[in-house]
Each structure stands twice: as C-alpha cells, then as structure tokens.
Amino acid sequence: MVNRNALGKTGDTFDVDIERGKIREFARATFSTNPSYLVDPSPVCEPTFLTTMIFWQDERSDPWREVEMNLERGLHAEQEFVFFGPPPRAGTRLHARSTISEVFEKEGRRGGTMMFAVMVTDFLDDHGVVVAQSKMTGVETARAPQEQS
C-alpha cells in the first residue's frame, strides 16, 4: 500500500557520470543507428537515457522506497524527461537529487482505487544549474496486473 507520508521525501544528492560507452550501448539497445549517439566522439545522451541513472541510487539517495508501493500491483505509468538545453553530453558529471513530488489517488475505470506517486529527479551541473529533469509516475492498481484484462 502506498505510504502518503512519502510525499516531500528527498534523497541525498548522488553523482552521475554521463559516459560515451554507456550512451553507445544504450543506443544499440534502443535500436538506434544514429551517428549522433554512435559515432560522435562527444555524444549527447538519448532522451530516455537518464532513466538508467536511478539504478545507481542507494538507500540514502532513493526516496522512492519510502512510497512502499506493492511490487505485485505496482506499474510504471508515465515517464518524462525535460532538458534545459541539449541533453547532457558524454564526459559530463552531474549531481542528481530525487524528491517524491506527488502522491494521489484516482478511481479506476473498473472500480477500485489506484494510488499514484511521482518522483522528480533534478540533474544539476557543477554550478548548481538544473540541466535536466526526470519525472517518474508509478501506479499501484487495486488488483494484480494479471487479473486485469
């Protein structure tokens, strides 16, 4: 069950390195042949690449675990990335910080309450300027996914 007290929880800042090899690997894994990712010596990252950075969070930097979403009924509902300029380039070190920005409920179409939670992750450069932002929306359905049709 989603814990409403997670709202406003912020994790510790964690450093992320935007690496060329990881950008190229990710481009191949997303069926890209674009030289902007694969050939450029200093490529920008693919628009969804920053999603990989949350897998480097630890207990202290990841506030999502405070949401306590039920693993069997939890689903990734939406994902958004905003870039305040070109996406980050290989060779950049950014400083990321995640916050639980929303927790809310909606009635499902087939009855039952769906609980939503949103985690915003800001990616800052060395000057403290936010250069990118990721917004992950998770939903906990009233029933397990396999019971839906």
Partner 1 sequence: MSALSPPPDLVIGPISMTDIVRYQGASGDMNAIHHDEAFAHQSGFPSPLSLGMMQAGMLATWATDWLGAERVRRFRVRFVEQVWPGDTLSCSGVVAREYLEGDEERIDVELVCRRQTGGVAVLGWATFVAEKNEVSS
Kindly list the residues in this chain that would bind partner 1 in the complex (CB under 8 A): 22, 25-32, 34, 36-37, 43-44, 46-48, 51-52, 55-56, 72, 75-87, 144-147
Residue with tokens 């709202």: 7
d(CA 62, CA 100): 10
Compute the Cα dihedral for 77, 17, 38, 29 and give only its sign: negative
Nearest approach in angstroms of CB 10 to partner 1 is: 22
Closest to partner 1 by CB, 5 vs 30, is: 30
Nearer to partner 1, 79 or 113 (CB): 79
Q: Which is nearer to partner 1, 30 or 113 (CB)?
A: 30
Distance CA 43, CA 88 (A): 8
Closest CA to 13 of 132, 131, 123: 123
CB of 57 to partner 1, least distance (A): 11
